[in-house]
Amino acid sequence: MEAVGTLTRADLADSLHREVGLSRTDSSKLVEQILTHLCEALSRGENVKISGFGSFILRDKGERVGRNPKTGVEVPIAPRRVLTFRASQMMRDRIVSGG
């Protein structure tokens, strides 16, 4: 894994393979199963909390009026559901302290 960049599914599977000893195939399947389960829960409208990591929270935003910054014309913005992530305190502490 690179020190800087994007963490990919393959990186997660490779870490499982190296650190836990699962086969590469089983590692990839496990990563896919976890991500599928997470996505399915969110699509059902459930929030997802991973202890020591953070929470994926769904919020419904109502309709509102926005403004085109270039022309100043008001434009209605449709109601929508947004996904936010809130890191746990443990994760925030690890990020700030660098370890």
Residues 98 and 65 in one domain: yes
Residues 36 and 51 in one domain: no
Residues composing the chain = 99
Looking at residue 97, its pLDDT comes to 82
Name which of 13, 49, 51, 54 is nearest 30 in CA terms.
13
Full domain range(s) for residue 71: 47-99
Looking at residue 98, its pLDDT comes to 73
Residues 99 and 59 in one domain: yes
pTM, two decimals, is 0.75
The separation between CA 60 and the C-alpha centre of its own chain, rounded to angstroms, equals: 17
Q: How many domains does one find in the chain?
A: 2
Stretches where the chain sits below pLDDT 50 are 1-2
Residues 72 and 85 in one domain: yes
CATH number of the domain within which 79 lies? 4.10.520.10
Burial of 11 (0-12, 13-18, 19+ CB in 10 A): middle
Looking at residue 15, its pLDDT comes to 95
Q: Is 7 helix (H, G, I), strand (E, B) or coil?
A: coil
Looking at residue 96, its pLDDT comes to 87
Residues 80 and 34 in one domain: no
The pLDDT mean for the chain works out to 92
